[in-house]
Each structure stands twice: as structure tokens, then as C-alpha cells.
Structure 1
Amino acid sequence: MADLLGSILNSMEKPPTVGDKESRRKAREQAARLKKMEEQEKKRKAEFRRKMEKEVSDFIQDSLQQKRKYNPMGKIERSILHDVAEVAGLTSFSFGEDEESRYVMLFKKEFAPSDEELEAYRKGEEWDPKVAEQRRRLKEQAALEETESSQTKKAETCPNSNYRDKYSHLIGTSAAKDAAHTLEANSTYGCVPVANKRDTRSIEEAMNEMRAKKRQKQEGDSGARSSSSS
């Protein structure tokens, strides 16, 4: 019986010491502070969202405003504002290079910004529609002048007139290539046309001529021997 009672007492949790009580108290206090901070942060976000919903609603109802720019705000606030704008059917963008300087701009759908306007905001520049229109016209004028210049250069390299007609009083009506067929070779320079080199005799005529020349040579040789023997 004593052994059973001893085993039960040993299995029971020992009462906390003074140090353990202090640690648990601090843990409970820290948990309470964290919970309170979370509740305050949640309340602050809800208040900020209600405020943005009111401002966005006023912006939509104001027919004179096409866009609205907000002061720089934190990442959480920007996220809430983007969400409110999306629910309201607006277009929203964040601009600014540094996190501390990031701000949000809202645009009504019918006045959505152009690529040039967005690029200006990204560069930290102010957007002026009149200046943008002047730049657009200058670009169009420059492109038109460049096109006309390229067409002029192309026309200069490809003349419409034929040079043979232009200089017919110098080279005549026939081109040099056509006139070359009418030229005859000059024998003084040893140039004989191919047509003059061609033998038009038949084989039989050529053989008869060769035999006659051979007989003539033989007769000449025999006459020379007779005169030498006498």
C-alpha cells in the first residue's frame, strides 16, 4: 500500500517553483500584448479601408475629376487602396522608385492613361496633355519627312529616262553591242574573221588540189635534175 501511494505521488506534477511562476506570468503578459496589437492593427486597417471607400466614392461621383493622386503611403495601405479601387471599377497604379516615396494614382475607366502618360509618371515627370500632343505631332512630322526623303533618294538612284535615248545624238540609235556585229576585222592587224577562216571546199576538191600541187612539185624536181645532168 505504501509503495502504491509513493508511485502515485511521484507521477503527479510537482508544484511550480517561484522561477517557473514568473516565466509563465511573463509569457501570459506577452501573449496578451500581441493579441492587443493584432486587434489594434486590424481595427486600424478597417478604419483606413472605410476612409478609402469614402474617398473613392466621392472621386467617382465627381464628374470634374478624371484621376486622383495620393500621398506616399506604406505597402499595406497601398494594397488596401488598390483593392478598394478594383472593387469600385477603377484603374490604379503605384509609382515611385523608393519604398518611402511610393504613391498610388486612381484613374476612371473612361480616362485610362496612355503608355506615354504612364512612362512620364514612372520617370517622376508631370503629365501635360498639350505638351504630349505637340511631341506626338513632331514625331509624326519627322516620320513623314524621313519617308519622303527615302522615296526621293530611291527615285534619284533609279532614273525614269533611258540613257540611250538621252545620249542618242552621241552614240546613235544602235547600241554598241548591236553595232559590234557589223564590224569587219582589219587584216593589217592580223585579225581575220572566223567566217574568212572557214574552208568551204568539199573533200574531193581539196584532195584534187593537193594531188595537183604534188604533181607540180614532182615535175619541178625532175626538171631540175635533168638540167643539172646535162
Structure 2
Amino acid sequence: MRMRIPSPRMILNIVLPVVIIQSKMADLLGSILSSMEKPPTVGDKESRRKAREQAARMKKMQEDEKKKKAEFRKRMEKEVSEFIQDTKQQKRKYNPMGKIERSILHDVAEVAGLASFSFGEDEESRYVMIFKKEFAPSDDELEAYRKGEEWDPQKAEYRRRLKEQAALEEETTGKTQKRAASPSSNYRDKYSHLIGTSSAKDAAHTLEANQAYGMVPVANKRDTRSIEQAMNEIRAKKRQKTGDEDTGAGSTSTS
């Protein structure tokens, strides 16, 4: 029997579909494997563990901080209540504390109807003072605390009286005495461009009377004669004048 050998075309038609099917199955398997989650490595497990531990520590710290704030507020409420009930105390000074503690104390004092103030320049040295409303501090007292000084009511009252006395004396002096009026400007400086600086000053010191115009010293104008002497001189001048007129008239008639 004679064996029939398949032609190349027949072989290609048989092999080609098989290759195509295998290629598609390989692509499908690759996509399935890529979509699957890879197992975590040892490094990833350690990082996740550290993250969980840090989150737990942060949560515990927040809870502890919240607990401390609650305990501090409860203690401040107790101290403020005792301060209000103590009739001998008018104010209370606390030791330096942090910003959060100061804010809690201010809130407690406000709720209790007290006045509270913070003093101190540096953040580490700032402290709180609380006052009962009926003993609220004055501006002078607050200024003393801001300067870091102790408040002494007797010294403050003494300084206040001195200020009032000084103000009263100044007011009295201003009413009894008038200030001397003074020109706002010097006329020589104002008109120096017209009369000059040196010429005006020299003229003021060298001005003299001109004798050609009949000006005589004041001392020469004084009359030292008595009234009788003055009248006799006037009569003598009149007689002399009358005699001169008579003499003139006689000489005219003779000629």
C-alpha cells in the first residue's frame, strides 16, 4: 500500500490553529497571574508593623494628654472654689506654667466669675494671678506686675497724693502768674535781607543828634530859674523892647 505524504499546506492548516490557541491561553494565564495579589515581602511586613505600633503610641499619647488636662482642670476648679470661699484672700498668684495650663486656668476663673491676668515676659516665666471681682486690680497695680514689681498699696497711695498735689500747685501757679509774652520771631532776622545784619546793629548804637538842625541836649533844656527870676527877665525884655521902639520913633520925627 502506498503511503500518502501530506502537503505543506495541509500541515500549516493543522499546526496554525494550535499555535494560536496556545498563545491565547498564555495571554489569559498571564493576565490572571498579574491580577492576583503578590505575597508581602519581609520588608513590607516590618513596615506595616512599625506603622501600627506608631499609630498605637500616638493614640495613647493623645489619651494621656487628654487625661492630664482633665485632671489639671479638676484640680484648678477645686483650688478656685477654695479661694472663693476664703474671705481673707483677695488674690492668688500661681507658679509659672505652660500655655495650655494657663488657658485652662483662665477658663476656670472666668466660669467662676473671677478676674485673671497673665504676667511675665518669657514664655517659661509666665504665671497667672486671679482676683476677686470686688478686689479687681487698678491700672497702676497691673503696671507694677507687668514690670515684675511687688504691689504696695501704701506707697501707691502716697505717690497718688503727690501727683495730685503737684497738679494742683501747677494749676494754681498757672492762674496767678502770666507768662511773659515774647515775639515769635526776631525782626532783625526777618528784615535782614532789607537792612542788613551789621548795618542795622551799628546804626542803632551810633545814632546821634545833628546840631545843625537846632537839636540841643536834654540837660540844656531844663529851666533852673525860679518863677520870680523868669518874670523879671520877661519884664526887662519888654521894657527894653519898648525903649527901642520909642528911640526909633523919636529919630524919625526929628529928621
TM-score using structure 1 length: 0.65
Shift of 1:2: 6.2
| Separation in 1, partners of 2:26, 2:77 | 74
1:140-197 per-position Cα deviation (integer Å, ceiling 9, x unaligned):
000011111111213x97xxxxxxxxxxxxxxxxxxxxxxxxxxxxxxx9xxxxxxxx
What SS does the corresponding residue of 1:93 show, helix, strand or coil?
Answer: strand
Opposite residue 112 of structure 2, the aligned amino acid is A
| Separation in 2, partners of 1:144, 1:80 | 47
Candidates 126, 132, 136, aligned match of 2:150? 126
Candidates 68, 86, 90, aligned match of 1:62? 86
**Equivalence for 1:40:** 64
| Separation in 1, partners of 2:163, 2:41 | 84
Candidates 100, 106, 109, aligned match of 1:76? 100
Q: What is the percent sequence identity of the aligned residues? A: 84
Asked if 1:96 is matched to 2:131, the reply is: no
TM-score using structure 2 length: 0.59
Opposite residue 107 of structure 1, the aligned amino acid is F
| Separation in 2, partners of 1:17, 1:85 | 57
Candidates 19, 24, 27, aligned match of 2:43? 19
Shift of 1:12: 2.0
1:5-42 per-position Cα deviation (integer Å, ceiling 9, x unaligned):
54233112211100110111111111111111111111
Opposite residue 17 of structure 1, the aligned amino acid is T
Asked if 1:86 is matched to 2:110, the reply is: yes
What SS does the corresponding residue of 1:42 show, helix, strand or coil?
Answer: helix
Shift of 1:4: 4.0
**Equivalence for 1:142:** 166
**Equivalence for 2:224:** none
**Equivalence for 1:199:** none
**Equivalence for 1:180:** none
**Equivalence for 2:139:** 115
Structure index of larger Rg = 2
Aligned residues: 159
**Equivalence for 1:171:** none
Opposite residue 85 of structure 1, the aligned amino acid is A
What SS does the corresponding residue of 2:177 show, helix, strand or coil?
Answer: helix
Opposite residue 53 of structure 1, the aligned amino acid is E
- What root-mean-square deviation, in Å, do the aligned CA atoms of Structure 1 and Structure 2 show? 1.9
> Can you give the 5+ residue segments of structure 2 that lack an aligned partner in the other structure?
1-24, 181-213, 215-255
What SS does the corresponding residue of 1:73 show, helix, strand or coil?
Answer: coil
Shift of 1:3: 4.7
What SS does the corresponding residue of 1:104 show, helix, strand or coil?
Answer: strand
Candidates 16, 28, 40, aligned match of 2:52? 28
| Separation in 1, partners of 2:102, 2:116 | 10
| Separation in 1, partners of 2:34, 2:89 | 78
1:186-209 per-position Cα deviation (integer Å, ceiling 9, x unaligned):
xxx9xxxxxxxxxxxxxxxxxxxx
Opposite residue 139 of structure 1, the aligned amino acid is K
Asked if 1:49 is matched to 2:73, the reply is: yes
More moved, 6-15 vs 40-49: 6-15
| Separation in 2, partners of 1:68, 1:2 | 85
